[in-house]
Amino acid sequence: MAKFEAARGRKAWAARAVRFYSGGLERLAGRPSGNGDGARFADDAHPYADDLDLFGPGSLFELLTVCRTRTGEDTLAAWLLAPAGPGEVKARQEAVADLAPRLDLREAVAVAGAEAPAADYRPLMQWGGAPADAPPAWKWWAVEVLGWLNVFAWAGWLFAETTALPVLAFGLLSLALAAPLMSWAGRVLKPLDRAAENLSLFEAVLIRLEREPFSAARLKELQGSMRAGGLLPSEQIRQLRLLLDGYNARRNAFFIPVAVLRMWPVRFAFKLEAWRARSGPAVGQWLRAVGEFEALSSLAGHAYENPADVVPTVEAGPVRLAAVGVGHPLIPAAKCVRNDVTLGAGANRVLIVSGSNMSGKSTLLRAVGVNAVLALAGGVVRAKRFALTPVAVGATMRVQDSLQAGRSRFFAEVTKVRLLLDIAGRDGGPPLLFLLDELFAGTNSADRVAGAEGVTRALLALGAVGFVTTHDLSLTAVTDSIPGAVNHHFCDGLAGGELHFDYTMHPGVVPHGNGLALMRAVGLKV
């Protein structure tokens, strides 16, 4: 049986290793890795999460994550949803640079422990941080002594033909001692019913974190934060795992008589309560350290797999974004068309981007937005050079109506624009980087142009910078009256009855549209 279990463990280890490297190959080929899409983090009320495809199938989260714990996923999602300041970004960048070449470390974490995708240790953390709840210590010793006396009494009666009186006496004493403690033991043990299943993973990850010789200050801080009670966290988790394994031995049919005689649930409730008093409050700290390490490791793996991507410069100062050769990280590098973008407090405060259908306007906005999110999370970006000041990102690119909420698309868009104006106007917050795609397309042309111009003026007055894309060429005239507004466009060509796009942004207003050509290309008689 032992050889069988060892062989099964090696097979599971090999299967996880195959998945780890297969996932990397899938990402390099531009396909989802299947590590988890983070759909539970999707929030249509967030300023940019849905618009920039942060979560869900084929998302940025799915591209990045190698997290094996729920806390790691939570940490990575939180970094994508809320930009960090320059100091924090710098600390994460140094940690990512330290982790990126450590392929063996990332493999070891990926294959460690039991099979537990997105293992959830929050119940263990909550149990560990709860107040101590132990009866007097003398009852623990009484349980231990009476348990052994029960075993010896039964052994003597069954095998040495001694009197049954000790069996009866010790049994009654045990019942009187254990019965009042059963409800307390249930409170201690219930949160740990399934904890043992994933503890080998937690232990294995902690072992690697404790022993790895890091050079980045943030990684050293994570190592230092895990020390508690003079023992290594992995040793303390190992003790807990062995305790739970011992408690679960009661499920063995051959061991049940001994478990009953030794008052197994009460006995182990005392042992686990002692562990909680010694180590429980530190579990949350260990778990947060593991979660941050996993988030950093996800960003590091992305950097390792995309060596042409660059570390962005994030520095405080007047609002600015300057990107050379920026592309979308969810598009395979071989197919990705790059563009140069400059936004700032001077001449290019807002780019009015006109262009035909499918020419690349929305993709450019998403490329800038996703790379800004990556930069402010501490990751590398798909560009030759990328520099920006701290910004709050906001977008109106995937606004949807809602039948259940009785909300039209236009009303949803107006509500989203109101949110972006509120973000731009927050005292003490970073300037807004706005990405407005086909603003107010759900209303008539006159209202659309007037509304878009008014919103753009209001955002610029609040110190924001960004993009406005449009099909309506009348909107391009706002550059004559709005200081800092500049026209750019994407264009197309028709050859052999087929449309061709270069997906490259050019200065000025688009010279023509392609709507009729597209209609005719699919056979509409227009």
Give the Cα separation of 388 and 317 in Å (integer).
9
Give the Cα separation of 369 and 393 in Å (integer).
7
Give the Cα separation of 317 and 458 in Å (integer).
22
Task: Return the H-helix or E-strand segment holding 320.
Answer: strand 320-326
pTM for the model stands at: 0.88
Find which of 135-139, 214-218, 331-335, 358-362 is predicted with most confidence, using mean pLDDT: 214-218
Amino acid at 359: S
Give the Cα separation of 90 and 312 in Å (integer).
10
Q: CB-based contacts of 215: which residues, under 8 Å, 6+ apart?
A: 98
pLDDT at 463 over 80: yes
Provide the pLDDT for residue 328.
Answer: 94
In this structure, the number of other CB atoms found within 10 A of the CB of residue 468 comes to 26
219-224 contacts: CB < 8 A, separation 24 or more?
Answer: 219/95, 219/98, 219/99, 219/293, 219/296, 222/289, 222/292, 222/293, 223/289
Phi, psi (degrees; rounded to nearest 5) at 500: -130, 140
Q: Which residue has the higher pLDDT, 517 or 14?
A: 14
Average pLDDT, the chain: 84
Among 17, 92, 33, 50, which Cα is nearest to 294's? 92
C-alpha distance from residue 323 to each of 69, 340, 388, 507 (Å): 34, 6, 8, 16
Q: Which residue has the higher pLDDT, 403 or 270?
A: 270
pLDDT tens, residue by residue, 373-398? 999 999 999 999 999 999 999 999 87
Among 478, 295, 308, 323, which Cα is nearest to 391's? 323
Least confident piece of the model among 111-120, 385-394, 459-468? 111-120
Q: Which residue has the higher pLDDT, 270 or 162?
A: 270
Copy the structure tokens of residue 358: 């499918």
Taking each continuous run of H as one helix and of E as one strand, the counts in the chain are: 19, 12
Phi, psi (degrees; rounded to nearest 5) at 160: -110, 0
